[in-house]
Structure 1
Amino acid sequence: MSDAQIGLMTATPIIIAFAIALRRMGVLSTVGTVSAVGLSIGIATVLFTTQSPLP
């Protein structure tokens, strides 16, 4: 597993946690929260699968 993939596995849950925290504080709407979570998972999936492992 490359460093980029490890970074994606670390950053994505943090982004999701922040989106949920902002929703609970009333800063982010439900649609915004769902969009942030869905897009971060989608982007992480695409980037994770396109990263080539180190030789």
Structure 2
Amino acid sequence: MTDAQLGLMVATPIIIGFAVALRWIGAVRTTGAVTAVLLSVAIAALLFLTQ
């Protein structure tokens, strides 16, 4: 596992956590939070597999 892949494995859950927290406090709509989570997972998976 490369450093970049390890970074993706660390950064993606942090992004998801922020999206959930922002939704919980009402700063973003549900669709925005879901979109952020889905796109961050998709981008992380794409980058992880192409490294």
| Same-fold call, TM cutoff 0.5 | yes
Between the aligned residues of both structures, percent identity stands at: 63
TM-score (norm 1): 0.92
Q: Structure 1 segments of 4 or more deviating over 3 A?
A: none
Higher-RCO chain (CA-CA 8 Å, sequence separation at least 6): 1
TM-score (norm 2): 0.99
- The unaligned stretches of length 5 or more in structure 2 are none
Across the two proteins, how many residue pairs are aligned to each other? 51
Greater helix proportion: 2
Larger of the two Rg values belongs to structure: 1
What CA RMSD, in Å, does the superposition of the two structures yield over aligned residues? 0.2
- The unaligned stretches of length 5 or more in structure 1 are none
